[in-house]
Chain A
Amino acid sequence: MVDLSVDLGFLKLKNPVIAASGTFGYGLEFQPLYDLNLLGGLVVKGLYFKPREGNPPPRLAETPGGLINSIGLQGIGVEAFCREVLPRLAGLKTAIIANVCGEEEEEYARVAEYLSRQAGLAALELNISCPNVRAGGKCPAQDPEATYRTVKRVQQVSSLPLITKLSPNVTDITAVALAAREAGSQAVSLVNTFLALAIDLQTRKPKLGNVLGGLSGPAIKPLALRMVFEVARKIEIPVIGLGGIFRAQDALEFMVAGASAVQVGTANFVNPLACPEIIKGMEDWAESQGLSRLSEIVGSLKV
Chain B
Amino acid sequence: MFQDKKAGIIKTASWGSYFLITLAAPEIARESQPGQFLMIRVSAGFDPLLRRPLSIHNRSGQEVEIFFQIAGEGTRLLAQKKAGDFLDIVGPCGQGFSLKSEFKGQEIFCVGGGRGLAPLYFLARELQAAGARPVIFYGGQTLTDLPLKTRLEEAGWETHFSTDDGSFGFPGLVTRLVEKELEKRKPDYLFSCGPEAMMASLAKICQTIALPAEFSLESIMGCGLGACWGCARKIKKNGEIKYLRICQDGPVFPAEEIIWPGD
Contacts and interface: CB of A to CB of B under 8 A. Distances in A.
A273 B3 contact: yes
Given A25-B227, A29-B225, A269 B50 contact: yes
Contacts, number: 100
B15 interface: no
Interface string B205-246: 000000000000001111111111111110000000011000
A59 to B, nearest CB: 5
B220 A58 contact: yes
Interface in A44-80: 45, 53-54, 57-67, 69, 71, 74
Contacts of B229: 45, 54, 59, 71, 74
B49 interface: yes
Nearest to B72: A62
B213 to A, nearest CB: 23
Contacts of B232: 54, 57, 59, 71, 74
Contact of A71 (B46, B224, B230, B242): B230
Interface residues of A, number: 36
Given A53-B243, A59-B229, A246 B223 contact: no
B195 interface: no
Q: How large is the interface on B (under 10, 10 to 19, 20 to 34, 35 or more residues)?
A: 20 to 34
Interface string B71-106: 000000000000000001010000000000000000
A261 to B, nearest CB: 21
A270 B2 CA distance: 14
A22 B41 contact: no
Residue among B5, B224, B225 with most chain A CB within 10 A:
B225
A10 interface: no
Nearest to B48: A62
A23 interface: yes
Interface string B34-51: 000000010000111111
Given A54-B229, A57-B232, A269 B46 contact: no
Interface string A120-135: 0000000000000000
Interface of B is mostly: loop
Contact of A60 (B41, B220, B226, B227): B220
Contacts of B5: 273
Given A57-B219, A65-B46, A269-B51, A25 B226 contact: yes
Given A54-B232, A268-B223, A217 B242 contact: no
B1 interface: yes
B227 A67 contact: no
A121 to B, nearest CB: 19
Contacts of A217: 46, 49
A246 B230 contact: no
B243 A54 contact: yes
A71 B1 contact: no
Interface in A157-180: none
A67 B222 contact: yes
A87 interface: no
B226 A59 contact: no
A62 B220 CA distance: 9
Contacts of B48: 62
Contacts of A67: 49-50, 222
A25 B1 CA distance: 16
B97 to A, nearest CB: 21
17 contacts: A29-B225, A54-B229, A57-B231, A57-B232, A59-B230, A60-B50, A62-B49, A65-B49, A66-B49, A69-B222, A69-B228, A71-B229, A217-B49, A218-B46, A268-B223, A269-B50, A270-B50
Given A29-B223, A272-B223, 10 more contacts: A29-B225, A29-B226, A30-B225, A45-B229, A54-B232, A62-B48, A67-B222, A271-B88, A272-B90, A273-B5
The 7 closest A-B pairs by CB, nearest first: A25-B227, A60-B230, A32-B1, A29-B227, A65-B46, A269-B223, A64-B47
